[in-house]
Amino acid sequence: MPLLFNIRHLEDKDLHLKGELPVAELDMGTQDEVIHLTQPLSYDLRVEKLDKGILVQGSLRLPLACECVRCLKPFQQQLALDAWTCHLPLESEEKVEVTNDVVDLTPHIREDILLSFPQHPLCEPECRGLAHSKGAESGSEREPKLTSSAWAELDKLKLRE
């Protein structure tokens, strides 16, 4: 079930929404090879009515099952949006969709979760990647072989003045 609330309940007091949103309801539609959603999103939100809109503030937490992009080792990472804020206008061109006095927060949460995904998940910041091949020297890094660039070759040209 999506994360819904009735705006009529905001007339008297603010709402407090706390619970979990199943992964299927988030409908991420991502086919990311290194980030997988296996557990529900936890939310703790406060919803208040403003003059011409609705303000939602709180925290969102989503466990991610990731694969390190350097060594391909699986690891868990917690995506935490502790100061999540969403303003939903009620009177403008970009007003929030209200159906039978009910607002769905799911699309707004989905967008911010997707924007917060790690672009290149690493199991640890110092991850060195896959093990070196058998012929490589163990314990020492080889200096990269310097190759001449096209600009260096142009510097060698002798032009007449």
- Structure confidence by residue, pLDDT tens digits, 79-132: 999 999 999 998 888 888 888 889 999 999 999 998 999 889 999 999 988 875
In whole angstroms, give the CA distance from residue 45 to residue 21. 13
Q: pTM for this structure?
A: 0.73
Mean of pLDDT values over 37-62: 94
Mean pLDDT for the chain overall: 85
pLDDT value of residue 14: 92
H-assigned helices in 4-157: 23-26, 106-116, 150-155
What is the pLDDT averaged over residues 39-60?
94
- DSSP H helices, the chain, are 23-26, 106-116, 150-155
CA atoms within 13 A on the CB side of 89: 5
Predicted pLDDT at 91: 85
